[in-house]
Amino acid sequence: MRARRAAAATAAAFLLTGCTSFADTVAAPESPPSASAAAPEPDEGTCPAERAEPDPDRPEISLDFTLSDDRRSVTGTETVVFTPDRDVRELVFRLVPNGPDSAPAGNRLVVDDVRGDDVAQGRYEAAGAGDPGGLYVVDLEDELGAGESTEVTLDFSLALGSGAFDRVGVEGPVSWWASGAPLLAWEPGVGWARDAFVPLSGETASSPVADTVVTVSAPEDLTVLMTGAQAEPSAPSGGRRTWTSEEPVARDVAVAAGPFTTTEATTPGGTRVTTGVLPEGDVPGDVFNAWTVEAIGDLEEFLGPFPYETLSVALLPDFGGGIEYPSMIFEATPSPEVLVHEVAHQWFYGMVGNSQFRDPWLDEAFASWAEAVVDPGSGLVSEEALPLPGPVGGAMDQYSNSGQYFRLVYDKGGAALLEAQRTAGEEAFAAAVRCYVDATAWSIATPADVYRALSDLPAALAVLEGAEALGEDDAPR
């Protein structure tokens, strides 16, 4: 889900270091993609009449953040009501800011307390992350059976590191954080996602959609933009204002607080778009808002209705790139093409979820492809990447560095999807992708879902197999 960095960065001549073929080691999950009601029937060649609905037993998550007066740290409380679809003895949360691509900038997420009627204890696991660890495991007193619910509350503290292209940071008067609270690492139908962090510029998380309420207390002079439909802020009290939002299908949340000037618009499809620019920002507020509205309209033409009722976009200082979160984007470069890529992630990652560790191409290659369909001349997808050796469909620990990851997953992956579309027929391919999107909405998709959606287009499958995006293991059994 990590947005690509600025085009110049990925277009630079990354040296590919010793790409060997490791597609054989890319394990397809043996379990179905989701046990939710949203899982498609394994019926080849069919397409759902309507977009799948989210799992009615999805988690309920309440997040309460307080940004400190000096704007360099956040304290918070997270309450999770969790109903697993298989038996568990623990809850596992991912502490994304402690990862090796984030912690060195000074970001740090610590759990200060955990409580709940069924809680025995909480403990950290390193998982390849920095101190105090990349995972926080909450052991339960007894087994929690499938379909049973438990409520767990976590208090946490988040240090915001120096401004950089990252999910968490502070730069001058603006603070932002995403994946800034312990992230429930549950993959329905599969189990806990305990994947180790990797030192690449990309995500490794997997999280289910949750019925989410967010509250943010911030110094009164700041404007808050965040995931979900926002209410008007409270009246100032004690030098602070409180902002709230709700999003019924959020996998994660993002918050930006700064002296933003906001612009609002409603798209023809009914999405409320709120954009914010900083004083002396790179793009006028009305222009930036118009870019966002246009991107939504262009993508809806072939991907179907925008997944959320609202989209908020904060234009941060130009660190080069953008990072997508459910119904919220940190745009950190004044590029309409990069913005289209991030908006495309609202479908691929936001709605059609994926294990960003196991199958990063399911969000990054598809977002790159969608951007190239909208802006064929943008050059964000380098079609010369198609013959590069190495798999599109590797897991995050199979790429040796960020440059190789970008070249194979974004560039070769986007180019392979474009070539598959050209080979199979523009409209037939677009229709099959639309079926994939509707069938896997709000679940965590797998390459097998892509295979199933393209099963009537063998020419497209052949291109994706040739690019090592799909493999034999992904074929329906």
User: Which residue's CB is nearer to Zn ion, number 119 or number 385?
Assistant: 385
For the segment 257-296, give every residue that binds Zn ion (CB under 5 A).
none
* Entry field: residues in the chain: 477
**Smallest distance, Zn ion to C-beta of residue 403, A:** 15
Between strands 328-331 and 310-315, the pairing is: parallel
**Smallest distance, Zn ion to C-beta of residue 338, A:** 9
**Smallest distance, Zn ion to C-beta of residue 386, A:** 19
User: Which residue's CB is nearer to Zn ion, number 156 or number 291?
Assistant: 291
**Smallest distance, Zn ion to C-beta of residue 321, A:** 9
3 lies in the binding site for Zn ion (CB under 5 A)? yes
**Smallest distance, Zn ion to C-beta of residue 345, A:** 6
Which helix (DSSP H) or strand (DSSP E) does residue 296 occupy? helix 285-303
Report residue 459: phi and psi, to 5°: -65, -40
User: Which residue's CB is nearer to Zn ion, number 411 or number 438?
Assistant: 411
Residue number closest to Zn ion, CB atom: 3
Number of residues counted as binding Zn ion (CB under 5 A): 3
User: Which residue's CB is nearer to Zn ion, number 35 or number 343?
Assistant: 343
Cα of 79 vs its chain's centroid, Å: 21
SS3 (DSSP) at 9: helix
How many C-beta atoms surround the C-beta of residue 387 within 10 A? Answer: 10
User: Which residue's CB is nearer to Zn ion, number 3 or number 311?
Assistant: 3
Question: Cis peptide leading into 391, omega within 30 of 0?
Answer: no
CA distance 239 to 234: 11
**Smallest distance, Zn ion to C-beta of residue 367, A:** 5
**Smallest distance, Zn ion to C-beta of residue 108, A:** 25
Locate 78 and state its tokens.
């997270």
For the segment 343-402, give every residue that binds Zn ion (CB under 5 A).
364, 367
Between strands 186-187 and 119-125, the pairing is: unpaired
Which helix (DSSP H) or strand (DSSP E) does residue 337 occupy? helix 336-344
User: Which residue's CB is nearer to Zn ion, number 3 or number 210?
Assistant: 3
User: Which residue's CB is nearer to Zn ion, number 91 or number 367?
Assistant: 367
User: What mask of x and - would describe binding to Zn ion in positions 241 to 260, judged by CB under 5 A?
Assistant: --------------------
Q: What is the CA radius of gyration of the chain?
A: 21
Please identify, among the stretches 3-11, 57-65, 72-80, 308-316, the one whose residues bind Zn ion according to the rule CB under 5 A: 3-11
DSSP codes of every residue in 395-431:
-GGG-SSHHHHIIIIIIIHHHHHHHHHHHH-HHHHHH
Residues that bind Zn ion (CB under 5 A): 3, 364, 367
